[in-house]
A and B are shown apart, each in its own frame.
Chain A
Amino acid sequence: MAARKAAEKPNISGDELTLYYRQMLLIRRFEEKAGQLYGMGLIGGFCHLYIGQEAVVVGMEAAAKEGDKHITSYRDHGHMLVAGMDPKGVMAELTGREGGYSRGKGGSMHMFSLDKHFYGGHGIVGAQVPLGAGLAFADRYKGNDNVTFTYFGDGAANQGQVYEAYNMANLWNLPVVFVIENNQYAMGTSTKRSSKSPNLWERGAAYGIKGEMVDGMDVLAVKAAAEKAVAACRAGEGPYILEAMTYRYRGHSMSDPAKYRTREEVQKMREERDAIERVRELLITGGHASDDDLKAIDKEIKAVVNEAADFARESPEPALEELWTDIYA
């Protein structure tokens, strides 16, 4: 991807830009805090951070309405925050406490909120794709106009079940947007080393599914593509594939030393393509916000994240009886 061009003036209100700025910044600060708590031993096991990819979920969800469903992989914290889940409940699940969304029984990779129509949080790579098609199947069966946002990575795109789901989704005209978050590395394997055909979205053509590639570091580009895709789904035109080209700044999980790429590669993305900086620039140059305004937002978000972290540390561990609950409905 080329270096960022000078920001053009998009046809978008300051309020909207500010909303995306806030949402992306919340994800980044939340994830940085999660990384810090992991470092302190307060979060255990696997913890996959979304830093760098914020524009994808924020842009996508800008096209969602109440009732739409959301499902993703284990790199799920950002999706939950944008779905409107409480940062306190998410962080407390990361620390395995009673105040977490799953009362400490799911952890970072397995979190759900029926209220917010967020269906996980799935630890098996690619499993969420037929599951997402199934959520869409239920909506089509009921005859409403809800759309399911099904997110997965470039790594999951090589799982066979993705293509079984594609086939059925289009065969049965299911209202599902498949969002491939191509961050270019499946753990340590670059897409060049794992995928013969470089454009993952084009694989949908084999099943007659429309799709396109979008700059996943540009929240406005993602939003525009999402609106088009979601409109097609809502109009009953069946599934749609969006491949968002993005980049994760951190390792695959907290314990990944990331030796499969250079520090320069990561630095270059951060300096030239960062999605949050891009919106920040638009806010400033468009006269929508001053440096002080943005500082105030930063401060406010930092407070939200600190509050979440405090809650997640103070919330008690689940009662020991919880071991035996929620096995059967």
Chain B
Amino acid sequence: MPTEILMPALSPTMEEGTLAKWLVEEGDSVAAGDILAEIETDKATMEFEAVDEGTIGKILVEAGSEGVKVNTPIAVLLEEGESADDIETAAAKPEAGTADAGAEEAPKPQAERAAEAPAAAKAAQPAAYAPEPDWPEGTEMKSMTVREALREALAEEMRRDDAVFLMGEEVGEYEGAYKISQGLLDEFGARRVVDTPISEIGFTGLGVGAAWGGLRPVVEFMTFNFSMQAVDHIVNSAAKTLYMSGGQLPCPIVFRGPNGAAARVAAQHSQCYAAWYSHIPGLKVAMPYSASDAKGLLKSAIRDNNPVIFLENEILYGRSFEVPDIDDFTIPFGKARLWREGKDVTIVSFGIGMTYALEAADKLAEEGIEAEVLDLRTLRPMDTGAIIASVQKTNRLVTVEEGFPQNSVGNHITSVVMEQAFDWLDAPVINLCGKDVPMPYAANLEKLALVTTDEVVEAVKKVTYR
């Protein structure tokens, strides 16, 4: 049967075009790849090639025709043994284009689904937020710095699973720029504690490839500021491939290192990436405050089959906390920790922001204001249920973080609370953040740029109208 040659779409956006010129005539024989015509698209003039061999039986659309719709038959190609007489019998109707979408109702986006809940919720009494404890009562505790907790987590996971290895700048012989990996080279050798050259995009991509190849890499960034060199592999290679592969290719990898401001290292070394990375579907993001969470979350991160961004803090490395003396202690992702119960206001924070939140809560208690303090611990998944439950109790919310204010984590929390607990709020939510400036070097200015305990106290007084 004669084959119709259809007006081609020659760009992602083309719907019609001009058939500028025919380069063949009726009766010409053509082979696959021969140029048939020149077609002007919305972008440029393109050559249009034959796909099949045959003879041009009839030209249906004259050269110079404008506004020829894509998929309109423009000529008829005869195969061996066919003649122009066969053309009449060929179906004249062009192929349908893309299958019709849009008719069916798309699934509701997440926000819309979540929004269905609160109307009913207001009527009912809120369930008291009573999270399961992270370890059983009576567990023996030991004092440990965040640094030691991270090191223990790494060492325990490396002992447990040969596929786990650590790579990064100065992690091996130097024992870590911040001494997180002290002793690991001695115990595990150079096969599993891999010193890299200063090549962030290269070793990050290499780590992702190794994860696809069946390993469980822990990639250390000397600071997360340097991960900007590698952000393409974190977002485009690590986070998106499971989806793009239809679920075939998980990427079990942990990217970890100090994040946010340290002290006097100025703008290029003092930025919090919590909001940046928690923006990305496909990534998980943890940002521990205490040593027990640092240990329990890092162990969970290494066992997770997804890419995890693990944001540590240089100032917290040296702080000591009580850590449960339990074999194989882990903390699940997506579960906030209730540090302090209170009825007057909810303070939500994470990472070093918890320092200010807890100090402020102490000060406020002296003035008779009982603040409930929640540590999110992981930002993606985020325990929004805990936030909502607490806000339903206190009716007031202050968020505390060190990152920049525009599009901050606090902004997102506020939006969730507006959608799910608007009627429970007795005051506008305040998002405390670092100031909207690059981090200055001068000691006095640096202090001004960071969020402070006093600012938290002031914000709580504002939302409690004291």
Using a CB–CB cutoff of 8 Å, the interface residues on chain A facing chain B are 32-33, 35-36, 38-42, 44-46, 51, 69, 71, 100-106, 110-114, 119-124, 127, 129-139, 141-142, 160-161, 164-165, 167-168, 171-172, 249-251, 254-255, 257-259, 263, 270, 316-317, 320-321, 323-329
Q: Write out the residue numbers on chain B whose beta carbons fall within 8 Å of the beta carbon of A33.
A: 51
- In the complex the two chains form, is B210's CB within 8 Å of A135's CB? yes
A138 touching B215 by the CB < 8 A rule? yes
Cα A122 to Cα B233 in complex, Å, equals 11
Majority secondary structure, B binding face: loop
Contact of B250 among A164, A258, A324, A329 (CB under 8 A): A329
**B204–A130 contact, CB under 8 A?**
yes
Instruction: Select B245's contact among A106, A137, A257, beta carbons within 8 Å.
Output: A106
Beta-carbon contacts of B238-265 to A below 8 Å, as 1s and 0s?
A: 0001111111111110000000000000
User: Most A CB atoms within 10 A — which of B97, B106, B210?
Assistant: B210
Residue numbers in B under 8 Å from A134 (CB-CB): 205-213
Distance between A141 CB and nearest chain B CB, rounded to angstroms: 6
B415 at the interface (CB under 8 A from A): no
Q: Which chain B residue lies CB-closest to A102?
A: B246
Output the nearest chain B residue to A164 by Cβ-Cβ distance: B202
A-B pairs with beta carbons under 8 A, tally: 219
Residue B33 is within 8 A (CB to CB) of chain A in the complex? yes
Interface centre among A133, A250, A270 (most CB of B within 10 A): A133
Q: How far is the CB of A308 from chain B (nearest CB, A)?
A: 14
Contacts A112-B241, A168-B203, A326-B242 hold; do A36 and B213 have CB atoms under 8 A apart? Answer: no
- B residues with a Cβ closer than 8 A to A are 6-12, 14, 32-33, 35, 41, 43-49, 51, 70-71, 95, 97-99, 101, 104-107, 165, 191, 194, 196-197, 199, 201-215, 232-233, 236-237, 241-252, 281-282, 284, 305-306
CB-based contact A257/B46 at 8 Å: yes
**List of B residues within 8 angstroms of A113 by Cβ:** 248
Let me know if B8 and A39 touch, CB within 8 A.
Answer: yes
**Whole-angstrom distance from the CB of A76 to the nearest CB of chain B?**
12
B33→A270 contact, CB < 8 A: yes
Residue of A nearest to B97 (CB): A41
Closest to A254 in B: B10
The CA of A203 and the CA of B8, in the complex, are separated in Å by 41
For A142, the closest partner residue in chain B by CB is B214
Within 8 Å CB of A36, what residues of B?
8, 51
A160 near B201: Cβ-Cβ < 8 Å: yes
CB < 8 Å neighbour of B243 from A44, A71, A327: A327
CB atoms of A112 and B249 under 8 A apart: yes
Contacts A124-B236, A270-B33: A326 and B243 contacting too (C-beta < 8 A)? yes
Contact yes or no, B247 A39, CB < 8 A: no
Minimum CB–CB distance from A161 to chain B (whole Å) comes to: 5
Task: Check A329–B205 contact: CB distance below 8 A.
Answer: no
Chain A minimum-CB-distance residue to B48: A39
**Given A35-B51, A44-B98, A321-B107, are A130 and B245 neighbors across the interface (CB < 8 Å)?**
no
Q: Is the CB of A168 within 8 A of B8?
A: no
- Known contacts A127-B232, A164-B202, A328-B282: does B243 contact A105 (CB below 8 Å)? yes
B250: which A residues are within 8 A, CB to CB?
Answer: 329
Is B245 touching A42 in the complex (CB atoms < 8 A)? no
Residues of A within 8 A of B281 (CB): 327
- Taking the closest CB of chain B, its distance from the CB of A251, in whole angstroms, is 8
**Chain B residue at smallest Cβ distance from A274:** B33
Shortest distance in angstroms between A121's beta carbon and chain B's nearest beta carbon? 8
Q: Are B199 and A132 in contact (CB under 8 A)?
A: no
- Closest residue on chain A to residue B15 by CB atoms: A41
Write 21 A-B pairs (CB below 8 A) sorted by A numbering: A32-B51, A39-B10, A39-B70, A41-B9, A41-B71, A102-B244, A105-B243, A105-B244, A110-B241, A114-B249, A123-B236, A138-B209, A141-B191, A165-B206, A168-B196, A254-B10, A257-B43, A257-B44, A257-B46, A320-B104, A327-B242
Determine whether the beta carbon of B10 is less than 8 Å from that of A255: yes
List residues of chain B with CB within 8 A of the CB of A138. Answer: 209-210, 212-215
A327 to B305 Cα, complex, angstroms: 11
Assembled-state Cα–Cα distance A39/B237 (Å): 30
- Which residue on chain B has the smallest CB distance to residue A46? B12
B241 neighbours in A (Cβ, 8 Å): 110, 112, 120
- Give the residues in chain A near B201, CB-CB below 8 Å: 130, 160-161, 164
Question: Are B165 and A44 neighbours in the complex by a CB distance under 8 Å?
Answer: no
Residues in B whose Cβ lies below 8 Å from that of A329: 242, 247, 250-252, 305-306
A255, B41: Cα distance in complex, Å: 9
B261 CB, min distance to chain A CBs, angstroms = 28
Alpha-carbon distance between A106 and B14 when the two chains are bound, in angstroms: 22
| B237 contact set on A, CB distance < 8 A | 122, 124, 127, 131
Closest 9 CB pairs of A and B: A134-B209, A138-B213, A164-B202, A39-B8, A130-B205, A255-B11, A329-B250, A164-B199, A102-B246
Per the bound structure, the CA–CA distance linking A171 and B58 in Å amounts to 63
Residue numbers in A under 8 Å from B204 (CB-CB): 130
A119–B237 CA distance with the chains assembled, in angstroms: 11
Beyond A40-B6, A257-B45, is A133–B209 a contact (Cβ under 8 Å)? yes
Q: Is the CB of A40 within 8 A of B71?
A: yes
**B212/A135 in contact, CB under 8 A:** yes
* A42: chain B residues within 8 A (beta carbon): 95, 97-98
Closest Cβ neighbor of A137 among chain B residues: B210
Write the nearest CB–CB distance from A306 to chain B, whole angstroms.
11
CB <8 Å contact, B212 and A119: yes
Interchain CB contact under 8 A, B232 and A124: yes
- What separation, in Å, do the CA atoms of A255 and B209 have in the docked complex? 31
Q: Which of B32, B48, B211, B233 contacts A130 (CB 8 A)?
A: B233
Instruction: Tell me, in angstroms, the Cα distance from A152 to B306 when the chains sit together.
Output: 27
Q: A171 and B205 in contact (CB under 8 A), knowing A40-B71, A106-B244, A106-B246?
A: no
In angstroms, Cα B205 to Cα A136, docked, is 12
A41 x B98 contact (CB < 8 A): yes
Set of chain A residues within 8 Å of B47, measured between Cβ atoms? 257-258, 263
